[in-house]
Amino acid sequence: MSNILVIAAHPDDEILGCGGTVVDHIRRGDNVYSVILAEGITSRDHQRNRDVRHDQLSQLANDAQKANDVLGVHQLIMDQFPDNRMDQLDRLDIIKVIERLIEDIKPDTVYTHHMGDVNIDHRRIHEAVLTACRPIPGKHVVKQLLFFETVSSTEWMTPQSAPTFNPNWFVDITNSIHTKLKALEYYSSEMREWPHPRSIKGVRTLSEWRGSTVGVHNAEAFMLGRKVLSKEEEVNN
C-alpha cells in the first residue's frame, strides 16, 4: 500500500488530470490524498472578493468533496490561494504549504501540473512542487513524480512559449473512465458544452486518443519527472 498525493490548482483539475489513475490506485489499496490549493470562481471578477462569491465558493467546495468521494479518495484538502493570481504570491509561501503536506502525508508518488500550461496557477504550482519534492538526503523522498495535462489549459499553450507536453508515461484507465466522468458531472459549474475541450465528451475523446496511442481503449497521459527504483524493482528490471 502506498500514499499518493495529487496537488492541483483548482477544483476539477485533480480529476481532469488524473482522475482515472486515482481510481486505479484506490482499487489497488493505495491511500490517495487530493489537494486543491487555489479557490475557483473569483478570477471571473475584475477584483477578487470572496464575500461576493461566498455562496458559489461554498457550493464549489461541496461539489469538490462529492466528486472526490466518487473516486474514493482518502482525504480532500482545500486551500484558499487566489484563483489565477498565484503569480502575485511569493513562491516560497506556496512551497512551504506543499512541504508541510509532504511531511505529513509522506507520499510515495506525487501527481501535479505540467509546466507547459497556459494557466498561471498551474505553472506556479508545478514550480513549487519541484522545489518541495527535491530529494534531500535524510528527509522523506518522493519516489515518483508525474506531471499531468489539464484540458483547456495545457493544449492551449503554444510550443514556442513553454515546454511542450510530450507524454512518456501512460496509464490504462479503460476500467475507470466511467468513474472519472461520473465525478466530473459534479463539477457542472466548471464543465462546458462540446466542442469545448473541458466537456464530458472532450475528456472522453482525449482519453480515447491517449489510449489509442498505446493500444488501449482509454488512457491518461503524463510526463515523468522522477522515478526512484526500489531494490526489488532494480532486481526485476
What is the rounded average pLDDT of the residues 145-165?
95
Q: Which residues contact 26 (CB under 8 A, 6 or more apart)?
A: 32, 71, 72, 73
Q: What does the alpha-carbon distance between residue 209 and residue 204 come to, in Å, rounded to a whole number?
A: 9
What is the rounded average pLDDT of the residues 208-222?
98
Instruction: Indicate the pLDDT class of residue 173, thresholds 50, 70 and 90.
Output: very high
Task: Map out the domains of the chain as residue ranges.
Answer: 3-236
How many CA atoms, within 13 angstroms, populate the side-chain half-sphere of residue 184?
26
Per-residue model confidence (pLDDT) at position 117: 95
Instruction: Indicate the pLDDT class of residue 55, thresholds 50, 70 and 90.
Output: confident
CA-wise closest residue to 127 among 93, 161, 79, 164: 93
The answer to whether 185 and 69 are in contact (CB under 8 A) is no
Give the CA dihedral 136, 140, 145, 147, nearest 10 degrees. -90
pLDDT at 87 over 70: yes
CATH of domain 3-236: 3.40.50.10320
Q: Which three cell numbers stand for residue 145?
A: 513524480
- For the chain, the distance separating the N- and C-terminal CA atoms, rounded to the nearest angstrom, is 21
Give pLDDT tens digits for 29-51: 999 999 999 976 565 655 655 66
Per-residue model confidence (pLDDT) at position 40: 67
Q: CA 24 → CA 4, 120, 172, 179, 208, distances in Å? A: 11, 29, 9, 10, 17
Q: Count other C-beta atoms under 10 Å from residue 79's C-beta.
A: 13
* % pLDDT > 70, the chain: 91
pLDDT at 162 over 70: yes
Give pLDDT tens digits for 65-79: 999 999 999 999 999
Partners of residue 147 on adjacent β-strands: 112, 223
The answer to whether 75 and 36 are in contact (CB under 8 A) is no
Give pLDDT tens digits for 91-113: 999 999 999 999 999 999 999 99
pLDDT at 64 over 70: yes
